Chain A
Amino acid sequence: MNLKLFLNLIINYGILTATCLRNLFCKKQFILLFFILIASPLSFAKEALPVAENPEIEKRMIILSEELRCLVCQNESLAGSRSDFAKDIRREIREQLLANKSDKEITDFLVARYGDFVLYRPPVRTNTMILWFGPFAFLLIGGILLFFFLKKRRKSLQEVPLTNEQLKQAENLLKESSDGDNK
């Protein structure tokens, strides 16, 4: 029995006894709870899949497939998807890695079949220009607008000299507050 399962069982028995003491009379619920709590750690026990035959290859495969889009579930990477399609492609990558293919050869292989769309970082081409440089263009436009806006604003914010009366009032106020501090 592994440690995780053991701890799980102990915790669940704890919950069980606590519930038990609180409601001494609900037998039915007790039995149900008993089975649920017993079953839950057992269902987790199979979670850890056996480590791949070749951890080195597996590691490279995962790094590579994280950069690739799963075409079936398009918001997931090939590394993260559990679709059959992603599984097949992972198998393909694994096999090609075992055959000593380089990362570039493998991505080229996939691009040749599925197009640039499999890549999360598509190459710079005429049709991907907006994608790559659009944000900078927007930044530039925003910067220019900001520049003119601030320039205009500075003009309208010219310093207005205070009148003597206002200066006196300010002095009085300052005096008052410093007097207050001393007391």
Chain B
Amino acid sequence: MIRYLLPLIAFIILAAFLLVGLNLNPRKVPSPLIGKPAPVFNLQQLHEPENIFKSKNNLGKVWLLNVWASWCVSCRDEHPLLVQLAKANVVPIYGLNYKDKRNLAIQWLEQLGDPYTKSIMDPEGRVGIEYGVYGVPETYVIDKSGVIQYKQIGPVTVDVLEKTILPLVKELQG
């Protein structure tokens, strides 16, 4: 009897491994930066290049850092949601324009709406490396003491926003 059951058991074990393994998303790499202080940066603003934005100025408030680029297709997907979020005025969104051209970025925001409290430019992706960015869009939730509490890799969806980001923001603001 066992002789005939063994292949079946082996198959079930293999199938279980495959079921779990194939359902994992290889793109979701857990960020080691969560719970760590957000890297400090000073960058040119997108609209006013003569003004330097300092991330230190945001200490004391909860804010979102959204990394985007005009060449990034899924940024276009998530953009309406960000515009909506900005209108709701719950949490300030800072836009980090990643490896992009100034005129293209400005044009993009004019066309699709500008949800950002401030837009900053990282044309060479150096701040991106500091933040461990590897796939735009990425969104960070940073708390009052400047610690990264959450990182969304890929576009923010309604689901993620309502179930994860907004409750977290409320908790951090509270």
Residues of A within 8 A of B (CB): 71-72, 74, 84-85, 88-89, 92, 111-117
Contact = CB atoms under 8 A, between A and B. Distances in A.
Contact of A88 (B27, B32, B128, B131): B128
Nearest to B26: A74
24 contacts: A71-B29, A71-B134, A71-B135, A72-B134, A72-B135, A74-B27, A84-B99, A88-B124, A88-B125, A88-B129, A92-B126, A92-B129, A112-B32, A113-B33, A113-B129, A113-B130, A113-B132, A114-B29, A114-B31, A114-B32, A114-B134, A115-B29, A117-B29, A117-B30
> Which of B26, B31, B128, B134 gathers the greatest number of chain A CB atoms within 10 Å?
B134
- Secondary structure at the B interface, as helix, strand, loop or mixed, is loop
Given A74-B26, A84-B99, A85-B134, A111 B129 contact: no
A179 to B, nearest CB: 49
Among all A-B residue pairs, the 9 with the closest Cβ atoms: A113-B132, A71-B134, A115-B32, A117-B29, A88-B125, A114-B132, A85-B134, A72-B134, A92-B129
Contacts, number: 40
- Secondary structure at the A interface, as helix, strand, loop or mixed, is helix
A14 B8 CA distance: 63
A117 B131 CA distance: 15
Interface of B: 26-27, 29-33, 99, 124-126, 128-132, 134-135
Contacts of B32: 111-116
